[in-house]
Chains A and B, each alone.
Chain A
Amino acid sequence: MGKLKTQSLQKRDSDLANSNRQLEILSNGIFADGELPTFKDKISETNQFPLKAKKLEILQINVGYMCNQVCEHCHVDAGPDRKEIMTRDTMQQILDVIKTTGAHTLDLTGGAPEMNPHFRWFVEEASKVGVKDFIVRSNLTIIRANKKYYDLPDFFKKHNIHVVSSMPHWTRGKTDKQRGEGVFDMSIKALQELNERGYGMPGSDLKLDLVYNPNGAYLPGDQATMEKDFKKALLEDFNIQFHNLFAITNLPIARFLDYLIASENYEDYMHALVDAYNPAAVENVMCTNTLSVSWDGYLFDCDFNQMLALPVNSKSKHISDYKEELLEGRNIVISQHCYGCTAGAGSSCQGVVA
């Protein structure tokens, strides 16, 4: 493993910052010469092509690609150098949509969503609308990154936010290797603070879930077993509690794709994903009930397609022009990265799906 990168692919002027280049890689080589079937061919075997969107349940908003971390596996290619930030106008358009949609979950992601200057205003306004489940994907370290964020646990509690946080391992070594030096200690401190407010405690309504994704070219293990191991270790070592663990597969795009290629793991990883293909997971892939909105208001089937600049296949393409009746039943735009959602028990922002 090389030393940790401190800049996004975009800032480094990497070839892979270009989404077309990523899509090319995902379509050429082993998928062009027939060594592995394309995702389209694979789901056609079980008559699951085209994948279609069902009723919208989750609206996932990416409020910007800026982040205080530069994790090696990041599919967003986020970092402090990214300047794409959602404006208040776009947020207002989203609020208008939330009022009319039947989606029960609002899911804020980034980057570090808290770094958007309008984040708190948006949370306050959106919580007035009253969605059932209001998620903020917080990377934990942001809570300890700067004094101005120290009160985030109280802010989350005030608005009954469901906090979902990434934690690659229960040991310092593995965590810091993926996410940067010092990340483990800061994350532990942030988790303890959330626990102090009642987050993640048994029976508490203040939901605190953790996201685990592997730190390397391998698939996540069984979610229930990992959850047990995480719970035991975090409780014994740090007296930390949380509710659920979501095991998420790394999709071969952006920085993770860059890592796979640089470490010569790309082909093996794609083989592993295809070998673990599970048709039962296809039924419930995230894009069937989720819609992703980018920082500039465009609509995508999922956050991954957003990063690959693959817009929704619908006449309704932007939040200002949101029409649920046009979006429902749309054909999902797919490529070989989709194998990441259908391996083993499947993978989504809510963990396994099958």
Chain B
Amino acid sequence: MSKTYYDPADLRKFGKISEWNQELGDKFFDYYGKVFEEGTLTAREKSLIALAVAHTEQCPYCIDAYTKDGLQRGITKEEMMEALHVGAAIKSGATLVHGVQMMNKVNKLEM
């Protein structure tokens, strides 16, 4: 067994998950491929969304994959960082908006 939880070389083996359940694996990869095709949104826009979500999910594989994907598409590092701030803003916003729940609870419990 490897001594760390994450190994960059494992990213290349992603496809192997189908080996233990071909049908669901195939369905997933079909779906995945379809999602990232050019649609109403461009593949470029989708790549930036994926990069932001990769960070909010804090998945090192996805971060590597979509950083490289962005470079391949000619996306600049300024665009990448801006996308990350969108993810970060939603993450922190989502934390803070729960503050309303906290305030409601305090108001309810306190005399």
A residues apposed to B, CB below 8 Å: 169-171, 173-174, 214, 216, 218-222, 225-226, 229-230, 268, 271, 275
Binding site for A on B (CB under 8 A): 8, 12, 43-44, 68, 71-74, 76
B14 to chain A, nearest CB (A): 11
Known interface pairs A218-B68, A225-B43. Does A171 touch B73 (Cβ–Cβ under 8 Å)? no
Q: A225-B43, A275-B12 are in contact. Are A218 and B71 (CB under 8 A)?
A: yes
- Once A271-B12, A275-B12 are accepted as A-B contacts, the answer to whether A225 and B73 lie under 8 Å apart by CB is yes
User: When A271-B12, A275-B12 are in contact, do A220 and B72 touch as well, CB less than 8 Å?
Assistant: yes
Would you list 5 pairs from A and B whose C-beta atoms are within 8 A, ordered by A residue?
A: A170-B74, A171-B76, A216-B71, A225-B44, A229-B44
Complex formed: what's the CA distance from A194 to B102 in Å? 65
Contact assessment for B72 and A221 in the assembled complex, using a CB-CB cutoff below 8 Å = yes
Assembled-state Cα–Cα distance A220/B71 (Å) = 8
17 more A-B residue pairs beyond the given contacts A169-B74, A225-B43, A225-B44, with a C-beta to C-beta distance below 8 A = A169-B76, A170-B74, A171-B76, A173-B76, A214-B72, A218-B71, A221-B72, A221-B74, A222-B43, A222-B73, A225-B73, A226-B74, A229-B74, A230-B74, A268-B8, A271-B12, A275-B12
Please give, as numbers and ranges, the residues of chain A lying within 8 Å of B76 by CB-CB distance.
169, 171, 173-174
Residue numbers in B under 8 Å from A220 (CB-CB): 72
* CA–CA, A222 and B68, complex, Å: 14
Cα-based distance from A227 to B54 in the complex (angstroms) = 28
Min C-beta distance of B39 to chain A, whole Å: 14
A170, A214, A221, A275 pick with most chain B CB within 10 angstroms: A221
Considering the chains assembled together, what is the distance between the CA atoms of A171 and B71 in angstroms? 13
Contact of B73 among A170, A216, A221, A271 (CB under 8 A): A221
Which residues does chain B contribute within 8 Å of A268, judged by CB atoms? Answer: 8
**Which residues of A sit under 8 angstroms from B73, Cβ to Cβ?**
221-222, 225-226
Interfacial chain B residues near A275, Cβ < 8 Å: 12
Question: A167 to B71, alpha carbons, bound, how many Å?
Answer: 15
Cα distance A38–B2 in the bound complex, in angstroms: 28
- The listed residue with most A CB atoms (<10 A of its CB), out of B8, B43, B71, is B71
CB distance from B11 to the nearest CB of A (A): 10
Q: Tell me if A219 and B72 are in contact (CB < 8 A).
A: yes
The 10 closest A-B pairs by CB, nearest first: A221-B72, A221-B73, A218-B71, A218-B68, A218-B72, A229-B74, A171-B76, A226-B74, A219-B72, A271-B12
A172 CB to nearest chain B CB (Å): 11
Which A residues are CB-close (under 8 A) to B74? 169-170, 221, 226, 229-230
- A residues less than 8 Å from B43 (CB atoms): 222, 225
Closest to A171 in B: B76
Q: How far is it, in angstroms, between the C-alpha of A225 and the C-alpha of B47 when the chains are bound?
A: 14
Complex Cα distance, B76 from A173, in Å, reads: 9
From B68, B74, B76, residue with most partner A Cβ within 10 Å:
B74
Separation of A214 and B74 alpha carbons in the complex (Å): 8
A214 contacts B44, C-beta separation under 8 Å: no
Residues of A within 8 A of B8 (CB): 268
Docked Cα-Cα span, A226 to B74, in Å, equals: 7
Q: How far is the CB of A227 from chain B (nearest CB, A)?
A: 11
Closest-by-CB residue of A relative to B77 is: A173
**Of all chain A residues, which has the CB nearest B15?**
A275
Question: What's the minimum C-beta distance from B2 to chain A, rounded to whole angstroms?
Answer: 17
- How near does chain A come to B77, taking the closest CB pair, in angstroms? 8
